[in-house]
């Protein structure tokens, strides 16, 4: 009887990320970004940016341009408001996503609408499958069943299971586990996985992670994720 391979994971500890504190913005960078440069951390497959940001009350990013990048924000605490050159305006709240395909070019601004409460979020960039696409914007709100699920698909290339659509062969899941709970994910040949732990403590194939840590693998097989305490993470299945 054939047994499934158990992938080995590489770990990026929270303390080994780049860090920049601008007063209004406190940011941790998993990959090289802005003034943080590490030639060994330039991205992972199509992942190019994972920033964990805390934006102070009233703070934000003034209007600036992007092109040829798939950018999404996953909200953790507070709110984030958005305006762009396509005419979109809106705000997202914890558990929600704003997803922008910048394609041939777009300008936008993001700001914390509260003057007192900090906004906490993950901002993530992926390279698109092709350049020069028509820019687009999507706000994504999970259903109640998706909010309660241990593992739910938030972003995909084909919009399956009520997920938002991205121009890349990437499946992005929210993982939310109670203490002692386990989920599994089969990683196919020639694909890769990245797990970004937001909060809590868990093990991924017996590799222990604490808040802010990440684990990655390019080995096919069954990935097992078990929470030691209540935990929240993003899981990426990438081409």
> Which pLDDT tens digit goes with each residue over 34-50?
999 999 999 999 999 99
Contact 214, 194 (CB under 8 A): yes
Enter the pTM of the model.
0.96
Query: What is the rounded distance in angstroms from the CA atom of residue 131 to the CA atom of residue 222?
Result: 33
Query: What is the rounded distance in angstroms from the CA atom of residue 76 to the CA atom of residue 121?
Result: 5
pLDDT score recorded for residue 1: 42
CA torsion 135-84-23-48 (nearest 10°) is: 0
* Residue keyed to tokens 């002692």: 180
pLDDT in tens, 77-94: 999 999 999 999 999 999
Closest CA relative to residue 230, chosen from 191, 163, 180, 192: 180
pLDDT-based confidence at 3, cuts 50/70/90? Answer: low
Backbone angles phi, psi at 145, to 5 degrees: -65, -35
pLDDT of 2 higher than 60: no
């Amino acid at each position: 009887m054939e047994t499934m391979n158990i992938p080995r994971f590489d770990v990026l500890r929270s303390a080994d990320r780049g860090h920049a504190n601008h007063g209004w913005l406190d940011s941790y960078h998993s990959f090289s970004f802005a003034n943080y440069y590490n030639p060994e951390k330039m991205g992972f497959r199509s992942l190019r940016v994972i920033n964990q940001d805390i934006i102070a009350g009233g703070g934000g990013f003034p209007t600036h341009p992007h092109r040829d990048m798939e950018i999404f924000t996953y909200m953790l605490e507070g709110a984030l408001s958005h305006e762009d050159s396509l005419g979109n305006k809106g705000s997202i709240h914890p558990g929600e996503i704003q997803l922008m395909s910048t394609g041939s070019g777009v300008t936008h601004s993001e700001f914390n609408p509260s003057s007192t409460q900090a906004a906490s979020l993950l901002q993530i960039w992926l390279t698109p499958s092709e350049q020069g696409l028509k820019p687009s914007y999507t706000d994504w709100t999970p259903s109640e069943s998706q909010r309660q699920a241990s593992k739910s698909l938030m972003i995909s290339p084909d919009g399956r299971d009520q997920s938002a659509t991205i121009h890349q062969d990437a499946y992005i899941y929210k993982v939310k586990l109670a203490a002692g709970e386990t989920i599994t994910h089969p990683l196919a040949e020639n694909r890769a996985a990245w797990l970004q732990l937001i909060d809590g403590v868990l093990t991924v194939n017996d590799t222990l992670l604490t808040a802010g840590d990440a684990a990655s693998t390019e080995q096919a097989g069954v990935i097992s994720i078990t929470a030691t305490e209540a935990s929240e993470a993003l899981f990426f299945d990438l081409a």
